[in-house]
Amino acid sequence: MPHNLHVQISTALWEALAERSRMSGQTVSHIVQAALAETLDLAHESMYQVSTSAALVEGLYQGCVTVADLRMHGDVGLGTFEDLDGEMIVIDGRCFQARSDGSVVEADDSALTPFATVVNFAPDRISEFADVDSLADLEGRLDAHRTSDNAMVSFRITGRFASVRLRTACKTPSGVSLADATAHQANFDFEDITGSLVGFWSPDYIKSISIPGYHLHFISSDRQHGGHVLNLQTPQLQVEINDMNHVHLAVPETDAFLHADLAGDHAAALEVIERERQA
């Protein structure tokens, strides 16, 4: 979650900040966060991703990066685990595994992921949404808060949900396509539950690497329930938005990845697999 920082600075520094804000259109908070991130070598505008969406669609589920390494590159994000063993939720620098039996556990640092995306989350904008009646409604409202259809965005969204429908992938051996694997997914419905959504919006041109459009995972405040979001309804949400302008891609060195045919168009398959709505 965001933290408030109270510091005393000189008049000259404040005037320089105010002038930079006026000239760039950026908030003082954004300028200070960017300066701190650069000084501390934290790439808060960089998306770090393990493998590609095309590899995942083709059934390449061999783990290639540890959770410990992943957490070094971001404190908010999502993904899956080796052999497609559930859904990953990274929040507050901790990594959770939502399993197909409905349980949620904190992942061991030695656990492996075949596909994940994280960012060092620092919100550029914060908004309040009221009376969201579906996932499609939420996505429509988020559209209005994105600044470009060609830029990547990450989200952290918190609130009390009147209802939320989740899915978790079932453990599946590599070689089984993602479409076949998720045909046997476990679905869960919850009512009157507090929690957070974490995720990303990516433009269509990045579809061979990342999942285009919205991709959101949920975890409850007590960290007992979680998964990939299929639908939701909520009276009130706090929406934090982090703009991103860099992609760091960790390419697997597994034999399966290096010899896979990943040249096809996987957009249609991803649309069904990742964003299939269920009432």
Domains and CATH numbers, the chain: 9-41 (no CATH), 46-275 (3.30.1330.80)
pLDDT in the model for residue 174: 87
Q: Give 82-132 pLDDT, tens digit per residue.
A: 999 999 999 999 999 999 999 999 999 999 999 999 999 988 889 999 999
Q: Give 147-202 pLDDT, tens digit per residue.
A: 999 999 999 999 999 999 999 999 998 888 888 887 778 899 999 999 999 999 99
Task: Concatenate the DSSP letters of all residues of 149-183 into one string.
Answer: TTSEEEEEEEEEEEEEEEEEPPP--TTS-HHHHHT
- Whether 96 contacts 104, CB under 8 Å: yes
User: Taking the mean position of all CA atoms in its chain, how far away is CA 146?
Assistant: 15
pTM assigned to the model: 0.82
Q: 38 Cβ partners below 8 Å, 6+ apart? A: none
